[in-house]
């Protein structure tokens, strides 16, 4: 008898085959003429039995279409600005190419687009300029999802800055983008002009909502050092490309404190299971958080 795990893996492999036939016609994917591949039909005969009303191929197609419909709906919700900038045809072509090359490898659909930025940077479906912008935009939109499942550590009061071991809040995501993709949210269509690189911080504010701002390149370096954890002096132990003025550093630290970015670095005892301290829980948009995530992690362990 075939081992159950092998059957499950082969069944999943069949579900991840390209969407074809009537199922595809019900999506926004570009139309194709060919039906299911001989490999798909053979796998159906191998894995499923004939039913009273459905053949093995028809039964497998039911699971196949629901798998693809769910993935396509989910990833479209995760990257709305990319969809607007790319246009329907390019967006769905990109999504299909991505899902075939990088199928879901997580228990939650929240991680479905984790590799989209890197994939888009090399995708030959659009010209080079669009690859740069679409890749940067995918990285930015994915960061907006990451902040909602990242921990929040206890923030450091000003009196403890000089003596505490510091760290950057886990939900603060630092992005170095080759193009100003943050502008795309305000555009009606793709209309790039300036392609200067930018530095961004994306985080979850006190009310539980997403926030973002551009930051200075030197500020970015200091925050990246803060991410590595250490005493306050360690942030300035190495030189930066540009020596910031004292007034700049003072303003940056004031902003970091007001945004609660500077946190006590967890100890070895608390590192594995950091306390998540959501502030303003009632104000968080829980529809964007995978409620099954914690249970699924326990099941994986």
The CATH code for residues 79-300 is 3.90.930.50
Question: What are the tokens at 243?
Answer: 């020596």
- The reported pLDDT for the residue numbered 51 is 81
Q: Would you write out the chain's pLDDT as a tens digit for each of its 301 residues?
A: 678 889 889 999 999 999 998 899 999 999 988 888 899 989 889 888 888 888 998 899 999 999 999 999 999 999 999 999 999 999 999 999 999 999 988 888 999 999 999 999 999 999 999 999 999 999 999 999 999 999 999 999 999 999 999 999 999 999 999 999 999 999 999 999 889 999 999 999 999 999 999 999 999 999 999 999 999 999 999 999 999 999 999 999 999 999 999 999 987 655 544 444 444 333 444 344 443 333 333 333 3
If you count DSSP H runs as helices and E runs as strands, how many of each does the chain have, helices first? Answer: 12, 5
- The reported pLDDT for the residue numbered 301 is 37
- The reported pLDDT for the residue numbered 218 is 97
Dist CA 225 CA 228 (whole Å) = 5
Domain ranges of the chain: 1-78, 79-300
The DSSP bridge pattern shows strands 166-168 and 262-264 to be antiparallel
Model's pTM, two decimal places? 0.84
Query: Residue 198's beta-bridge partner residues?
Result: 177
């Amino acid at each position: 008898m075939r081992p159950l795990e092998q059957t499950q893996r082969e069944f999943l492999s069949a579900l991840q085959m390209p969407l074809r036939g009537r199922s595809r016609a019900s999506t926004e994917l570009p139309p194709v003429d060919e039906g299911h591949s001989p490999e798909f039909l053979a796998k159906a005969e191998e894995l499923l039995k004939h039913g009273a009303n459905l053949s093995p191929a028809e039964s497998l197609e039911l699971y196949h279409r629901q798998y693809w419909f769910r993935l396509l709906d989910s990833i479209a919700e995760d990257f709305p600005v990319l969809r607007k900038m790319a246009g329907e045809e390019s967006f769905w072509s990109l999504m299909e190419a991505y899902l075939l090359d990088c199928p879901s490898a997580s228990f939650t659909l929240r991680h479905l687009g984790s590799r989209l930025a890197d994939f888009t940077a090399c995708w030959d479906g659009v010209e080079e300029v669009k690859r740069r912008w679409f890749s940067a935009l995918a990285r930015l939109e994915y960061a907006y999802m990451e902040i909602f499942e990242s921990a929040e550590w206890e923030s450091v009061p000003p009196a403890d800055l000089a003596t505490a071991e510091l760290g950057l809040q886990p939900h603060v995501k630092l992005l170095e983008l080759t193009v100003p993709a943050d502008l795309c949210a305000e555009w009606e269509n793709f209309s790039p002009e300036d392609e200067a690189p930018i530095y961004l911080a994306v985080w979850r504010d006190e009310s539980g909502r997403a926030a973002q701002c551009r930051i200075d390149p030197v500020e970015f370096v200091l925050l990246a050092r803060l991410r590595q954890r250490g005493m306050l002096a360690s942030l300035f132990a190495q030189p930066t490309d540009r020596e910031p003025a004292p007034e700049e550093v003072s303003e940056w630290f004031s902003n970091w404190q007001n945004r609660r970015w500077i946190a006590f670095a967890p100890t070895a005892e608390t590192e594995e299971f950091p306390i998540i301290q959501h502030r303003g829980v009632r104000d968080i948009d829980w529809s964007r958080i995978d409620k099954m995530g914690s249970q699924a992690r326990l099941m994986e362990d």
